[in-house]
Amino acid sequence: MTIKRRIFVSNILMIVVPVLLLALFAFLMWLISIGRIGLYGGRDLSHRQILSAVKGIERKFSQWDGDAASLQSEIDVLNAELNKIHVAVSIIPNGAASHSEAIDNAVAQLIGAADEEGAPESVQISISMHDMNGFTLVIASDESDGGDEEPDGLFKPGITLLVAVIAIIMVTNAVLTGIMYRHIIEPLNTLVDGVHQIRDGNLLFRIAYTTQDEFAPICNDFNVMAERLYEMVRTRQKDEESRKELIAGISHDLRTPLTAIKAYVEGIEKGVASTPALKKKYIDTIKGKTEDLAHIIDQLFLFSKLDLEEFPLLIEPIRLDEMIGNLLDEIGEEYAKKGLVIAWSGTSEAVTIRADRQWLRNVVVNVAENSVQYKNKAMGHMRVSLRADDDVAVLRMEDDGPGVPPQTLRSLFDVFYRSDPARNAKGSGLGLAIAAKVMRKMGGRIWAENAGAAGGLAVVLSFPAV
């Protein structure tokens, strides 16, 4: 049940419960007031009710037209009921010498009834006589409970009723407030405990809250927040490790060509290259190492721009089949000189994607460059194929190199990852990391898989087709 509904029900019960309890209390008070409940049977009847009974007797016998015998029989039956409310009736036939006998009979009957109920030792009796047709009606009533006026009889029940109203409202409010407090404070304590867990570094803590109320979305959002915070911390730690590896890798990759350049320059200075042919060889080597340095710096600059989101993308429709064919024709001869023969297996269908032409070219070149760096043959081979599956265009670049262990396939796209632990392979170690970032920015995917039993590595590029 939601808190809003609980509050609504609580407000309704705040009205209904006191009303029902007060109705029950009033009913009990009414039973007491009519003598059904109370000390000494009916001794707590109000004087007003006794007077009402007396008036009823007067009305009943004022027009009596029967004989004295039937009247006396009626009086006897009536007294059996009237004694319960401390009233007694007696008659005096007209012509009787004295009324004392009738009065004594009524008083004796009234006192006898009171003694049977355990009345107090002293009572106050009121006598009234009424002339009827042929007889005089004597009515005796017990007024020991308040006399003609009953201010205490009215005041005390009023005070009792007021106290009962206040007590019922306070008890009802305390009970309902306690229930509401428990259903609110417990979820709050759960949330506070969760916040303290996160504060203390326990990012794996999750709140288990099953009640479907207003706190359920908050607890779910807390769990989502904790999960995202955990992922952010993991990502930051991974980025920090990558940056440390980046610094170490750059230091190693810059030191290697610089050391070679320094050695060849010293060789020229000291006359080690004594012949023109040897000098030319030294200078060509220095030039090649300089180009390697420039390539490493360019790759590092490119990766930094990608990492800082500071590069523009010109997304446009591209005929992927035509672009890859033209690109491989352009770079095929250059890579053949590097020891990699690239074979293009096109498609007869037009395949159109949306991408940035220049960045896509960079991705393809980086994958090819990675195959050149890690080939284990004098002349390596790469087969490039393209296929369109429904709404996806898949470009597969598969070489015949050494491949990698299956458990390291996902790590190929990390910064400065190399399958060679000694880092003796050439290259900046940034090529595939750059390709992965570019593919994500263009809405595509890139992954690696081993080519099969024959060996080799396949890098697969997937694009949403237009």
- CA distances, 424 to each of 15, 262, 342 (Å): 85, 19, 25
Predicted confidence band at 132 (pLDDT cuts at 50, 70, 90)? low
* pLDDT (0 to 100) of residue 390: 75
Query: Which has the closest alpha carbon to 363: 256, 463, 234?
Result: 463
Cα separation of 384 and 380, whole Å? Answer: 13
Q: Of the segments 34-43, 327-336, 453-462, which one has the largest average pLDDT value?
A: 327-336
Tell me: pLDDT of 175 over 70: yes
- Which tokens go with 283? 């200078």
**118 within 8 A of 78, measured Cβ to Cβ:** no
Cα separation of 50 and 170, whole Å? Answer: 37
Specify the pairing of strand 135-142 against strand 125-131.
antiparallel
- Residue 365, classed as helix, strand or coil, is helix
Dihedral sign of CA atoms 405, 407, 413, 419 in order: negative
Q: Which residue has the higher pLDDT, 67 or 360?
A: 360
Interval 193-250: pLDDT, tens: 989 999 898 988 998 888 877 788 888 999 999 999 999 998 888 878 777 777 777 7
Cα separation of 245 and 415, whole Å? Answer: 8
Q: For 130-134, which contacts have Cβ atoms below 8 Å and span 24 or more sequence positions?
A: 130/58, 130/61, 130/62, 132/61, 132/62, 132/64, 133/63, 133/64, 133/65, 134/68, 134/93, 134/94
* pLDDT (0 to 100) of residue 151: 43
Question: What letters, b where the CB count within 10 A reaches 16 and e where it falls short, cover 414-430?
Answer: bbbbbeeeeeeeebbbb
Q: What is the mean pLDDT of the chain?
A: 77
Q: Of the segments 39-48, 124-133, 329-338, which one has the largest average pLDDT value?
A: 329-338
Q: How many helices (H) and strands (E) does the chain have?
A: 10, 10
Interval 386-444: pLDDT, tens: 998 878 999 999 998 888 888 888 778 876 555 444 334 455 567 788 888 889 888 89
DSSP string across 378-395? SSEEEEEEEEEETTEEEE
- Which tokens go with 307? 């990492």
Q: Which residue has the higher pLDDT, 151 or 59?
A: 59
Q: In 208-319, which ranges are continuous DSSP H helix?
A: 215-269, 276-307
Cα separation of 134 and 136, whole Å? Answer: 7
Interval 339-390: pLDDT, tens: 999 999 877 788 999 999 988 998 999 899 888 888 888 899 999 999 988 7
Cα separation of 263 and 277, whole Å? Answer: 17
First to last CA, the chain: 50
User: In the Cβ-directed half-sphere of 116, how many Cα atoms lie within 13 Å?
Assistant: 11
Mean local confidence (pLDDT), 297-326: 81
Specify the pairing of strand 445-450 against strand 457-464.
antiparallel
Q: Which residue has the higher pLDDT, 148 or 464?
A: 464
**404 within 8 A of 425, measured Cβ to Cβ:** no
